[in-house]
Structure 1
Amino acid sequence: MIWYYCPLTCPVVKHGVLSAGLTKISKKQLQWGSASDVQSKRTTELRAENPYYSQINADVLQGNLAKLDKAYTGFFKHQRGFPAFRKVSNFKSFQYKPGVAKLIINRDGKRYKRTGERKPCYSRVYLPSIGTIRFLDSREIPETAAQRTITVKKEADGWYISVLLELAEELLDLKVDIQSSVGIDVGINKLVSLSDGSFIENPKFATNKATRRRLRIRQRRVNRKVKGSRNRAKAGLLVAKLHKQIRDHRDGYQWQAASKIVKTADVVVREDLNIKGMKARCKPKRSQGRFLPNGQAAKRGLNRAISDAAWGGLFDKIAWLGQKAGKPVLAENPQYTS
């Protein structure tokens, strides 16, 4: 597998680039060229000079340059952090523009006799400069869907392909005749408390005792390995796999919970929580030049529990399923709601 990346091929300053990027408009007027334009031209020259870059698809290189230009634009315009240097190992994904990569879907997959569901089958995708690769279908792609961008991403447990589809289906209009409504309150002990008296349990995927023990053991093994060694990389991969397993279990459980909530009533009302503010650090307390206990040590466990519950992700899933079902999802001020 080829890693797709492009180095910074021209120096960047606040006004654009150095003199190599100046374009002459008139006899007395010069205009600064953008870093993205200069690097795009330089990338074309690199593909002709270096055989390594000639093996990489041009759209992939242009996509990385667009990300770099976006990072510098955010730094100069919106006062964000200065873009840090990224090593080759930090590039985990690359993207193809519409019409460049092609999917070859296997629609002849067999189905189970009892449930009628299709058995896991393999399809193929053609990636320019790489070739045709077989992949496992996680879901069936409609024949009427138009394929847009295709993103190849490396996770801890393997490579994944994300396909952006354009469907002809339209979302349902919001219901006007509302017969029932339900309010939800998220928490730590119970993930969701519904106004009809029912609850949705919180499995605590990352903060339960067994998982925390496994994470602690695996992270300790990483710290005991020599930095830069293969054994350290292998130990770090085990930690990454465990984190991905936790994330997958949490996402699957939240989709089921969101589906149950949306099917309960015609309108769903939730609290408009400031989750980022709830996880903010406590203000320091000082007295006579010394820092006093401010409760941050105790709040650390609460912040970890809020992150594990992932309320924001649950709200997004509820909003999406409600939009598909034509049911409004309202966010109310949490003050005086409980």
Structure 2
Amino acid sequence: MENTKASLKKDWQELKKEHPKIRIKNAADKLGVSEVELVATLENATRLNEDWPGIFIDIENLGYVMALTRNESVVHERKGEYHNISFNGHAGLVLDPNIDLRIFPGQFGFAYAVPVENPRGTLHSIQFFNKQGVAAHKIYLMNEEHLDDYSNLVEKFSHEDQNAELKITPAPPTKKEDTSTTIDREAFLQEWSELQDTHDFYGLLRKFKVDRTDAFEIAEGRFTQPVENSTTEALLYKAAEQEVPIMVFVSSGAVIQIHSGKVENIKKMDNWLNVLDSEFNLHLRDDHISRSWIVEKPTVDGIVTSLEIFDAENNNIATFFGARKPGIPELESWRELINGLKPKQVLS
């Protein structure tokens, strides 16, 4: 194993000579390994144990941080503090106006404390990876006054064997079968019409054993409407221009990270669609967007409308809502904005 780690470290060093600014995620892709395998070659990285709830609860002591969650198509960065942290069975929550997370610790495989060098100095981070070694969630210390708290966390949760083998689980098959042909469509749409909460939608999909995009196709014209893949860009620019507060959900599979609030500084750079605000950054590869849907879900508070975007393999890239809390109807300003993005012929 040590020979393999040494060989990988050498290959990475050679790659960095050719591409000095390459990011670790891109380096891992080029070398044909997982990101966590590269992290494990760093001499100053400390592997943490698998007490996922314990680590998250202690992260509250780190004060003001930057939380990062990404998938293959988008990076979601939000600054703030971790508060109201709880775990119950298979799920965890961080509930703060700034750091808002849904955590599925059963998806985690590894965690490391990693000092990251950049032109501004050393960024101290806690990084979680899934069982395939893919980055699931990263936390960057923003206030050096909490360096002692960071060191205490690393010492408290340090893995007993820093040289333990990384047991990487192969990724499951990505090919998805068409689940729309065997479903009772009438019954499915009836139960969709009876939803009481947006969270009930997951249970509806499980009950009828239907994929999300297949469900949207079944409900097209009643609860869903396909739209142009440029709709995300239009939505962000209009939300900024009209000062409509929105919610932006991004999932790594192990963590869902949510921004709630206004967006201001929207910049398109090549294939990247960016939100570059002081407390919230979004970096989205808009050339990855293959399908876009405007979706309506009934709730006890009225209809809740979202824009959901997917890649070519029907993986969810991101979901956008108008900012709201349970018990409060959807913002009229959001509804007007999203209706303005629908093709004219389908407007009611």
TM-score between the two structures when normalised by the length of structure 1:
0.23
Higher helix share: 1
Which of 1 and 2 has greater Rg? 1
TM-score by length of 2: 0.22
